[in-house]
Structure 1
Amino acid sequence: MPDEHTFALAFSAARPASSTDGKSQRNAGGPLLQTHDYTIGFATNRIGPPVSLLHRASFFVSAARLDQLPAPGAPEVCFVGRSNAGKSSAINVLCNQRRLAFSSKTPGRTRLINLFGLPDPLSPDQPLGFLVDLPGYGYASVAHREKEKWADVLGGYLRDRSSLAGIVLIIDIRRGITELDRRLADFIAPTGRPVLALLTKADKLPYGQRQRTVFAVRKDLADIGALHTVPFSATERIGLPEATQYIENWISPKVVP
């Protein structure tokens, strides 16, 4: 979880982190299987029958290091943003589940990459794609060494992961683009990967101010060629259909009319 200096340094030459912390995300929906590198389980805490492709998401694996991730294959859409910007809430409402993604009571304590599998409707035992929850960044109380490790993980994944099909950048609409967000955007832009800027907590602003913030974010992130900007609220479901369509289309264009 890098500060400004660490973020820029790590993103200029990111490498796989060397952390050996293999603790898994707790899975509140089903059995867990502990392996040397992974924790594999199945989430069942779904709200009603699945309608969207994303509603079928289930917990697949947690990894503390890049070399613990499954080999690249099915398309992945990652979620990245500052700590406490609403990333876990966004994932949960997009997937129509209460506790698929977990957030720590202490921002900056979530240190694992968590993958959620999306089964292929035609071959349910095969993944059609993955949603990837990356550690948050920007929380000041975390030790500098830990920030460096997390910066390496973030940078390495965003730069080198060949199966990464799209990036969901979580931004608290009340704060707008921060310096760390700009550094991340500068790192992402040369990769050419599409970005969905999800402006969370949109219900906290009146409509006019919300729209002005959207225009400001588009201007600040103009260097990202394939950029989509959606005001979003997990509590009021603002922007949910639009965000769902972008993410589904990255995973599998054929499921979007």
Structure 2
Amino acid sequence: MSLLTRARFFVSAARLDQLPPPGAPEVCFVGRSNSGKSSAINVLAGQKRLAFSSRTPGRTRLINLFSLPDPIDPEQALGFLVDLPGYGYAEVAHKEMAHWGDVLGRYLRERSALAAVVLMLDIRRGLTEQDRNLVHWIAPTQRPVLVLLTKADKLPYGQRMRAVAAIRKELDELGTLRVIPFSATHRIGIEEATTSIETWISPQVAP
């Protein structure tokens, strides 16, 4: 059974100083508003309502941490999955966008417990300027990045593979990242994503 299925809600924070002290490895999920972060966390954890997504884009304003209890000592966490606020929704007030951007940027650059980043991209939209800026922002940290191309089931297989190749080629220019097609509803890419995340959290439990 996957380590990720042990995920439990731990804490929500509006500011970095509200987060617990850095400790066990954290793998964060980041992407545009409504990019499928919550759905991805839920399907990877094998749970339906672990992470919640707002019906209104841009409304999620909190950093949500989900702990992965140690199978031997459940009181201790092997690591955390972190759901970060989405970005790129035009109707959010400029001041709020600036605040979220500051929190997001500081978490990605300063959080010492951050082990890796899962970047969510809609396979039908491709890479936006904001996505490129985010990858450039992460690159100096040298943290590994897994790119999940969500809504992969919306494209026929051949078109899906061409989209993956095109996005992978563009991302290769920005650094070394792993890119896989992903669909929470059709369970595409679940095993690959799970293996990567488990390896970052606790290498000894990964296959």
TM-score (norm. length: structure 1): 0.79
Q: Find the aligned partners of 2:175 and 2:202 in 1 and give their Cα distance.
A: 21
Candidates 64, 67, 88, aligned match of 2:38: 88
Q: Please tell me the residue identity of whatever aligns with 2:13.
A: A
| Paired position in structure 1 for 2:64 | 114
- Secondary structure of the residue aligned to 1:168 is strand
Output the amino acid matched with 2:104.
L
Aligned partners of 2:86 and 2:58: how far apart in 1? 6
2:200: which partner in 1? 250
Aligned residue for 1:227? 177
Shift of 1:226: 3.9
Q: Deviations over 1:188-234 (max 9, x none)?
A: 11110000000011000011111111111112222454411110000
Structure 1 residue aligned with 2:82: 132
Q: CA deviation at 1:106?
A: 0.4
Matching residue within 178, 190, 194 for 1:240: 190
Q: What are structure 1's unaligned runs of at least 5 residues?
A: 1-50
Q: Pick one of 140, 150, 153 that aligns with 1:190.
A: 140
Aligned partners of 1:124 and 1:224: how far apart in 2?
39
Larger fraction in helix: 2
Moved more, 209-218 or 237-246: 209-218
- Alpha-carbon distance in structure 1 between the residues aligned to 2:199 and 2:174: 19
Q: Which residue of 1 aligns with 2:116?
A: 166
Write the distance in 2 (CA, Å) between the matches of 1:85 and 1:55.
22
TM-superposition CA deviations, 1:98-150 (whole Å, max 9, x none): 01111111010000000000001121110000000000000011000000000
1:54 matched residue in structure 2: 4
Q: Size of the alignment, in residue pairs?
A: 207
Alignment correspondent of 2:102: 152
Provide the aligned C-alpha RMSD in A: 0.9
Letter in structure 2 aligned against 1:155: G
Structure 2 unaligned residues grouped into runs of 5+: none
Range with bigger deviation, 239-248 or 221-230: 221-230
**Is it true that 1:214 corresponds to 2:156 in the alignment?**
no
What is the CA–CA distance in structure 2 between the aligned matches of 1:225 and 1:129, rounded to whole Å?
A: 26
Q: Which amino acid aligns with 2:145?
A: V
Q: What is the one-letter code of the residue matched to 2:31?
A: G
Query: Is 2:18 aligned against 1:98?
Result: no
Letter in 1 for 2:153: D
Letter of the aligned partner of 2:62 in structure 1? L
Runs (4+) off by over 3 Å: 223-226
CA distance in 2, matches of 1:85, 1:190: 24
8 A Cα contact 1:193 1:226, kept in partner? no
Secondary structure of 1:79's match?
A: strand
* Structure 2 SS opposite 1:221: helix
* Matches of 1:89 and 1:63, distance apart in 2: 20
Alignment check: 8 A CA contact 1:192 1:224 kept? no
- Length-normalised TM-score, structure 2: 0.98
Aligned to 1:67, the other structure's residue is in SS state helix
Q: Match of 1:114, SS?
A: strand
Contact 1:76 1:165 in 2 (8 A): yes
